[in-house]
Amino acid sequence: MLGAHVSISGGLHNSISNGEKFGCSAIQIFVKNPNRWQSKSFTQEEIDRFCQAWTSSDQIKEVIVHDIHLTNLASPKPDILEKSRQHFQAQIDLVCQLGIKYLVKHLGSHTGAGEPAGLENLSQSLDFLLEATQQTDVMLLLETTAGQGANLGYVFEHIRQMIDDSKYPERLGVCFDTCHVFAAGYDLRTEDDYQRTFDRFDQVVGLDRLRAFHLNDAKSEFNSRVDRHEHIGQGNIGITPFQLLVNDPRFSAVPMIIETPQMDEMHGQNLQVLQELRR
Ligand SMILES: [Zn+2]
Ligand SMILES: [Zn+2]
């Protein structure tokens, strides 16, 4: 299930036609401005319009929402934590109204408080949110991160800990980002590396938790802990793991979303590269 992160500009419903234009069968969207705390809420009419557009599309099978960049559910600062939880809860409610199942989020940053404290805050935030939205079946997909700065989630063990510590583990899944994992020091470049990394993921987290991929090549170096995406096959990861991924029967039903640069000009081309790798 190949697709891309697409824009909702001009209305939520436009994401469906944007995805169709690129030949996607899955799309990812933001439902709030990712770089601003304040953004307008949607009317029931706008929500209905999106649902109608999706229902009448026979091309788009899955829609995933990505959390805004500002929330930090691991923050040691009570005001930021509170604000993040409120915004995140509003997003879960909206995702539910849109008939979407998956909301992707990064694990957040401990901002100097240390990893154990950050993971503890995050774990409490997740329980708070899952409890507050018990009436929905929205799943939170914890995204593997590059581990830039004080960011959590650059080792699979962080994700395992969140699942183990949760009162609602059945609502936690994982989004595996190829660029982030590579930058975090899990190699993917050869077939052996690929097998080793997914074996490791399976041991620590479990492949059944894997509900989405972000397919991005890396401008950043291996193990650099720097998050810079590159066009498929043109970065430091190279084409091999992408070929393995799109042909791996274990992942045939898992949405694979590109978040590569220059979406308007390049999404079509990056998706074509992936399509052509299919055997
Ligand atoms: Zn990603
Ligand atoms: Zn990234």
Between the CA of residue 119 and those of 60, 84, 125, 139, what are the distances in Å?
35, 15, 10, 19
At 78 the pLDDT is 97
Closest Cα to residue 276, out of 254, 255, 247, 249?
A: 247
pLDDT grade for 35, boundaries at 50, 70 and 90? confident
Q: How far is the CA of 100 from the centre of ligand 2 (A)?
A: 22
Above 90 in pLDDT, residue 34? Answer: no
Q: What is the pLDDT of residue 37?
A: 87
| pLDDT more than 70, % of the chain | 100
Please give the pLDDT value at position 40. 79
CB atoms within 5 A of ion ligand 1 belong to: 177, 214
Residue 59 has pLDDT above 90, yes or no: yes
Q: What is the pLDDT of residues 8-31, one digit of tens each?
A: 999 999 999 999 999 999 999 999
| Distant-in-sequence, close-in-space partners of 138: CB < 8 Å, separation ≥ 6 | 92, 95, 96, 100, 101, 102, 103, 171
State the ligand closest to the CA atom of 258: 1
Ligand 1 centroid to residue 201 C-alpha, Å: 17
Percent of the chain with pLDDT over 90: 95
- pLDDT of 36 reads 87
Ligand sitting nearest the alpha carbon of 146: 2
14 Cα to the center of ligand 1, angstroms: 22
Question: Where do the domains of the chain lie?
Answer: 2-277
Q: For residue 166, give both structure tokens.
A: 């949760």
Please give the distance, rounded to the nearest whole angstrom, from the Cα atom of residue 212 to the centre of ligand 2: 14
pLDDT at 242 over 90: yes
Between 155 and 41, residue with greater pLDDT: 155
Ligand found nearest the CA of 227: 2
Q: Return the C-alpha torsion angle 256, 258, 264, 268, nearest 10.
A: -60
Instruction: State in Å: Cα 183 to ligand 2 middle.
Output: 10
Q: Which CATH class is domain 2-277?
A: alpha beta
Question: What band does 273 get if pLDDT is binned at 50, 70 and 90?
Answer: very high
Q: What's the whole-number mean pLDDT along residues 56-60? A: 97
CA of 215 to the centre of ligand 1 (A): 8
Q: What is the pLDDT of residue 15?
A: 98
Compute the distance from residue 252 Cα to the ligand 2 centre, in Å: 23
Q: Which ligand is nearest to the CA of 141?
A: 1
Tens of pLDDT, residue by residue over 148-203, are 999 999 999 999 999 999 999 999 999 999 999 999 999 999 999 999 999 999 99
Q: Cα of 144 to ligand 2 centre, how many Å?
A: 9
CA angle, 107 then 97 then 1, to 5° = 65
Q: Is it the case that residue 116 has pLDDT exceeding 90?
A: yes
Calculate how far, in angstroms, residue 106's C-alpha sits from the geometric centre of ligand 2. Answer: 10
Tell me the ligand closest to 180's alpha carbon.
2
Burial of 116 (0-12, 13-18, 19+ CB in 10 A): exposed
Mean pLDDT for the stretch of residues 44-73: 97
CA of 248 to the centre of ligand 1 (A): 20
pLDDT of residue 90: 94
pLDDT of 96 higher than 90: yes
Residue 32: the pLDDT is 86
* Ligand that comes closest to the CA of residue 142: 1
**What distance in angstroms lies between residue 29's CA and the mean position of ligand 2's atoms?**
15
CA of 27 to the centre of ligand 1 (A): 13
CA distance 118 to 83: 16
Per-residue model confidence (pLDDT) at position 86: 95
CA of 213 to the centre of ligand 1 (A): 8
For residue 39, is pLDDT > 90?
A: no
Residue 69 pLDDT grade (very low, low, confident, very high; cuts 50, 70, 90): confident
Model confidence at 279, pLDDT cuts 50, 70, 90, reads confident
